[in-house]
Structure 1
Amino acid sequence: MALCNNAKLSHVPQDLSDYLEELQLNYNHIQTLQDDSILRYPSLKTLSLACNSVEKIESNTFQDSKLLESLNLANNNLHFGFQETSYALKQLPCLRALDLSENKLDDKMATTLLQNLTSLEYLNLSGNLLQRLDETSFQDLHLLKELNLQRNIIFEIDAAFGSNHKLQRLNLAFNYLPCLTDFDMSQLLVLNASHNFIEWFISRQDINETFQLETLDLSNNKLLFFPFLPSQSHLRNLYLSHNTISFYEHLADNAKFPNLTTTIEFYNMKNYTNNVTAQLWNDSLHGDISSLEILDLRVNQVKYFPQGFIRKMPMLARLRMCTNCLATLNLTSEQFSVTLYELDLSNNRLKQIAADEGSLTALSNLTYVNLSLNKLERLPSELFSLLSSLRSVDLSYNNIDICVSEEAENSTDMIAPCVDWKEVASLEKLYLKGCNLKIIPPSAFAGLSLTHLELSDNPGLIVKQSIQDLSRSLQHLGLGNTQIRDFDFSPFHSLKSLSISSNSLNHLPNSLLNLDLKVLDLRDNRLSTIPPGHANTLALKLHHVFLTGNPFNCCQTEWFRTFEATKTVNMVAKSDLECEDILQVRHRVEHFQSFLCLQQNGESIYWYILLFLSISLTFVSISIIVLLTFKSKMLHKSIKNKCLKPTSY
């Protein structure tokens, strides 16, 4: 191997080993590969010329490179000499991997360059100017397995992959495709069509063979409907986030909507042939989702799940539904699979969740539950206590209280206005941010070994005794905006991350100095300084510290220099740190001129200016008073001396 990257070369070096198998010439200034450029290296298997200025490869450059398997020509200017370069590429009978990305190639140029490359298995054409693909685009690439076409301007695909029967991975992301209809690539394993303008994804329903597709990414498009998937497939991962998907099963109710049609027709916009008629709320359109393990529907407009939809996914492990329009969830009727591992329903409109003991017990593998940013006020009384594998729960920004243990034990209600975690020994992370909590019962966390507890944004929360049971296990504690004052953190020896932001603190709690903290959030308090001794102690331990939003004294910023000198401490948003001088003028701490302050005792020179002005004003005042006091006597004497002289007569 020879590494000649960033060497300012304008040609291929000729003094390397004759038996060289790999040559890297990235980030140089080579413009042309001449016929004799690599003639000395017949054993070459890998050649990389990425990020040069290559405009063409002369036609006989590879005449003796019969062993070359991988050629990287990314980020060059092959659009200038693509015709001659195509002749050179045809002399590579063993070429398996070719990177032509970022070369300003249009459709015709790419087709010309790829002619007769029958051995090619991996092709990268990303970042070019391709617009329309047809049956001639890749017709000679019969062995192609992986094709990257992302970041072009493709808006139409017309039978472009009909000759690529071995193609398994296809990347069409970041293009301009309006739809993908008549999808029939049964051999494909991975299809990434994210970040397009796709409104419809429709598979061929008349194909009897099983599609091998395992991963389908249609995120960041304009899908209106759940994709019409193959009727037989091995689909495991389906990514549909950031679309406008809804379900329309309710429109099939003739009693409520007697005048609505239940079918829709899709036309081939080219010649209006091969029309497809679909019944939008027909369950069969969801296709075969029996193998699905990940369903990502984040940021859509889903209001409900169609009847039986969840039951069609017996292998589902992760359901991501944050930022949708769900108003209710019935765990009993939906019958989630025992394989469910992650359930994210955050930022919806949930007002209630229904569940019975059987449905909760069935979710024995559920580990992560996120119900934050909903409108929950009541929950099933045993919602969490029956989930035996639960490790992380997020109930932030709901109006849910914590049950007193006696209330939880004596309650017979199926729905309760509070939550309880009794006997959930597996629980590690609990987020109760912004839940309007006022007091946490003393035994709320008894029997738990939480590592993360987030209680921020609960103003006036009383927590002093309630979290003592977690002193050995707790690693992250969030108490921001809780109005805490002199809280004793010394028992929490395992604490690594602490947030006490937005609490109007005017000094740093001394109990923090004995902890081995790595992250400390002190934003939006009333700190005027951090004592040098405290700063020195913290600088030896902290990795990240948040300090913005405090009215620091510009003449007491030794802590800033201490943290800045300690290369292991990251002052997050350091450039936004501000301080005030004696005249209450704000400055950026890192730009404040230290000569304006005396170094001893941190006193500002402005104090001396004010002291001088005060003394001067006092002296002037005394002088005026003395002048006014003796004014009459002085005036009388002056008149007498000048005007009352004796006359000559």
Structure 2
Amino acid sequence: MVRHMLVNLLLLWSLGHDLYTTGFGDDGLKGQSWSNQNLYSIPLDLDVRLQKLDLSNNFIRQLHTIDLLYLEQLDLSSNQLELISKGAFENLALLEELNLSVNALNNNLERNSKSLQSLGRLKSLDISMNSLGDEAVKLYLLNKSSLEKLKMTGNYLTTLTHKLFKESQDLRSITIDDNLISTIDGGTFEPLRKLESLSLAKNNLGHICDFKLPQVKCLNLSRNSIQFFVSAADNQVYNLEILDLSHNKLLYFPIVPKFNQLKYLYLHHNMVGTLTLEASMVSEVNSLYNDIVRKGNVRITKNYLHSNWRLMPLIYIDLSYNHFTSFPLETLSLLLNLEELNFSFNCVQNLTWNVRHDSESGHYRQLYFPSLKYLNMQSNGLASVSPLFLQALTQVETINLQDNSVKPCAPVSQMQSSISPQLNLNSSCVAFGKLRTLKYLNLEDNGIKILHANTFQKTSLISLNLARNVHMVMQVGALEGVQETLQSLMMGEVNMNSSDLLLPCLPALTHLNISNNYLTVLPSNLTCSPLRELSIKNNSFLSLNQSLIKALSTHLHAMYISGNDFNCCDAQWLKILNESRIKLPDISQSTCFTGNTRIQFDEFLTNSSLYCSTHKKGIHSGQIIIVVLFVVILITVLIMFARKLCCTNKSLVV
């Protein structure tokens, strides 16, 4: 009986061991990894049932016959593969995914390419970083009719022709990044009706004159030298959803297909806006379009840039790191679905309302951004914003104005509210109270000197960043109107002392950063707030109020305390935090002092009684010794004085 049980246990262990070493799963998927094993050849006696085999990051130079009839995925990347024998893949009838990237397939081209021709069912092929030129790639793509995904990053392709993908009409994804491509012949990608994703990033393309790939959904042309992008003039519906033209030399906005599905447009790190005026740029774009698409002497007078953008369902556009000196109001206002606009790191110092007058009334037209929720204007040198621009932001929730020169306006009662809007189009301050939907506002490093009372009244602020506005003065009531909604407040590096920090009761506040100031006392009003994170780094605190810390510890999750001059022997507050298991992420960089000694806080927590009790006892003993010595000396003097007096009396009697 026992023997029978032992035999069964051994069988179960053996089966479990096999399952573990071969990676068999309950779903029938079988795989094995030999990655990073310093192999020079494929291991012998591999399980014939394998469906996945990973041999990446080894030293395999030659590949001979692989007898794995069920293999579907094979990874031979990052080896030194330079020779593939004729029948190496003949027995891999089910192979669908093959990764041969980072090898030396530029050697033995004819022999290696013929070996790959036996893979008739291959759907995914990666031959990146193999030093392959144009002709070499053509050889490797022979007899690849079932191919759906192709990656050729980091090779030496210079020209793409219509013959390259002639035998791979089912391709859905092509990646040819980081090559030397400067020319793409007509008809190269057009026949690939199933193509959805095309990436040609990091090449030498100079322009796109006649884009007409209606089947493509995602197009990446970033990091080339493209100066303009012009689509075909037709009424065909394009599937394009994502267009990345970042890191190029674009002078104008791209002319996209008239009917498209474009939702994400990346234009950052270009030269758009160099022409300064929006009208000049639109005129130049139309002139360029005329030159490219006109037939004979027929001139096109239609504003193609604006007419095509009006139909674009764009929700995100990145225009950061360009050369704008004025904000393209009319062009961007055409994007009725736009939700997020990144306009950071440009040169717009004054956001003026440069909009054409209404032809009938003669007044400025009021444009709107009806869907815009996120606006990033960081690092523009912005000093003034037109009130009409604020009025156009009907749904904005987040505004990033970090690293500008924006000054919040005083409340209307403190301003000349009688001034006509027509005469005050370009105010020198920003009236944030007009933005009723505003929830997140970043005013870090704007040189703000005074924060008036009721500055943010009528907004819906949840987060406010006022950090690095050196010597900013907060008037009483500066946060009036947002006490009930404000959850995050950042006021680090403002050079304020405790008397300057005028915080009202903030019952919703969960994150507070008051680091890098000269604070010595925490505001008592913090007991109103359910703080979860508090930073008091780099201030002048000697101790913290115990009852306040105890009240805060109810909700507190983390507290940053480094860079202060805490007294070790007045650190009961620290014990409260420690006992409440509040996280102190920077405690290893935090110190306290006792006498003339400075101690690491985490060390002090371990031996607090040793440091402070010894210190106190030492002082107590010294005081006792001094008192005893004083008493002894006093008694001795009195005795000597008494004896002397006694002797004097005796001599007088005699």
Q: TM over 0.5, yes or no? A: yes
* 1:30 counterpart = 2:53: no
Deviation at 1:518, TM superposition (A): 2.5
Of stretches 184-193 and 321-330 in structure 1, the one that deviates more from structure 2 is 321-330
Tell me what 1:522 maps to: 562
- The 1:337–1:224 alpha-carbon spacing in structure 2 relative to 1, beyond 3 Å, is same
Structure 2 CA distance for aligned equivalents of residues 307 and 428 of structure 1: 28
* 1:354 counterpart = 2:386: yes
Tell me what 1:168 maps to: 196
Deviation at 1:64, TM superposition (A): 2.6
- The 1:334–1:300 alpha-carbon spacing in structure 2 relative to 1, beyond 3 Å, is farther
Conserved in 1, the CA contact under 8 Å of 2:495 and 2:516? Answer: yes
Structure 2 CA distance for aligned equivalents of residues 263 and 323 of structure 1: 28
Tell me what 2:452 maps to: 403
* 1:240 counterpart = 2:259: no
1:109 to 120, 133, 136: 136
- The 1:312–1:195 alpha-carbon spacing in structure 2 relative to 1, beyond 3 Å, is same
The amino acid that maps onto 2:534 is L
* 1:136 counterpart = 2:149: no
The amino acid that maps onto 1:391 is K
* 1:451 counterpart = 2:472: no
Q: How does 1:58-77 map to 2 (within 5 A)?
A: 58-77=85-104
Tell me what 2:520 maps to: 485
Tell me what 2:531 maps to: 495
SS in 1 for 2:174: strand
Tell me what 2:601 maps to: 559
* 1:339 counterpart = 2:387: no
Deviation at 1:250, TM superposition (A): 4.1
- The 1:527–1:600 alpha-carbon spacing in structure 2 relative to 1, beyond 3 Å, is closer
SS in 2 for 1:309: helix
Deviation at 1:140, TM superposition (A): 2.1
Structure 1 CA distance for aligned equivalents of residues 316 and 298 of structure 2: 29
Tell me what 1:431 maps to: 465
Q: How does 1:84-233 map to 2 (within 5 A)?
A: 84-159=111-186, 160-204=188-232, 206-233=233-260
Q: Deviations over 1:296-319 (max 9, x none)?
A: 111112223446313311111111
Deviation at 1:187, TM superposition (A): 1.5
Higher fraction of helix? 2
SS in 1 for 2:137: helix
SS in 1 for 2:110: helix
C-alpha root-mean-square deviation of aligned residues, in Å?
4.2
Structure 2 CA distance for aligned equivalents of residues 58 and 179 of structure 1: 42
What 5-or-longer segments of structure 2 have no aligned partner? 1-29, 356-363, 413-430, 615-654
- The 1:468–1:148 alpha-carbon spacing in structure 2 relative to 1, beyond 3 Å, is same
* 1:460 counterpart = 2:496: yes
The amino acid that maps onto 1:328 is L
SS in 2 for 1:544: coil
Deviation at 1:142, TM superposition (A): 0.8
| Percent of residue pairs bearing the same amino acid type | 26
Conserved in 2, the CA contact under 8 Å of 1:439 and 1:463? Answer: no
Structure 1 CA distance for aligned equivalents of residues 175 and 384 of structure 2: 45
Structure 1 CA distance for aligned equivalents of residues 583 and 243 of structure 2: 43
Structure 2 CA distance for aligned equivalents of residues 138 and 274 of structure 1: 31
- The 1:28–1:104 alpha-carbon spacing in structure 2 relative to 1, beyond 3 Å, is same
SS in 2 for 1:47: strand
Structure 2 CA distance for aligned equivalents of residues 261 and 23 of structure 1: 53
Structure 2 CA distance for aligned equivalents of residues 132 and 77 of structure 1: 21
Deviation at 1:15, TM superposition (A): 2.9
Structure 1 CA distance for aligned equivalents of residues 110 and 541 of structure 2: 73
1:292 to 305, 314, 321: 314
Conserved in 1, the CA contact under 8 Å of 2:408 and 2:451? Answer: no
Structure 1 CA distance for aligned equivalents of residues 302 and 325 of structure 2: 14
Q: How many residues align?
A: 536
TM-score by length of 2: 0.71
TM-score by length of 1: 0.71
SS in 1 for 2:330: coil
Structure 2 CA distance for aligned equivalents of residues 391 and 328 of structure 1: 21
Conserved in 1, the CA contact under 8 Å of 2:393 and 2:435? Answer: yes
Structure 2 CA distance for aligned equivalents of residues 276 and 501 of structure 1: 71
- The 1:47–1:520 alpha-carbon spacing in structure 2 relative to 1, beyond 3 Å, is same
Q: Deviations over 1:413-460 (max 9, x none)?
A: xxxxxx2234x4x42101122445212424724542322101223223
Deviation at 1:280, TM superposition (A): 12
Of stretches 332-341 and 534-543 in structure 1, the one that deviates more from structure 2 is 534-543
* 1:541 counterpart = 2:582: yes
Deviation at 1:364, TM superposition (A): 5.0
Tell me what 1:18 maps to: 48
The amino acid that maps onto 1:132 is T
Deviation at 1:72, TM superposition (A): 1.6
SS in 1 for 2:313: coil
Structure 2 CA distance for aligned equivalents of residues 342 and 261 of structure 1: 28
The amino acid that maps onto 1:26 is S
SS in 1 for 2:113: helix
* 1:474 counterpart = 2:509: yes
Conserved in 2, the CA contact under 8 Å of 1:353 and 1:380? Answer: no
Conserved in 2, the CA contact under 8 Å of 1:248 and 1:280? Answer: no
Deviation at 1:555, TM superposition (A): 6.6
Deviation at 1:274, TM superposition (A): 9.7
The amino acid that maps onto 1:287 is N
The amino acid that maps onto 1:20 is L
Structure 1 CA distance for aligned equivalents of residues 169 and 287 of structure 2: 39
Q: How does 1:257-406 map to 2 (within 5 A)?
A: 263=287, 282=303, 284=305, 287-288=308-309, 290-306=312-328, 308-326=330-348, 327-330=350-353, 333=365, 335-355=367-387, 360=391, 363-377=393-407, 379=409, 383-385=431-433, 387-398=435-446, 399=448, 401-405=450-454
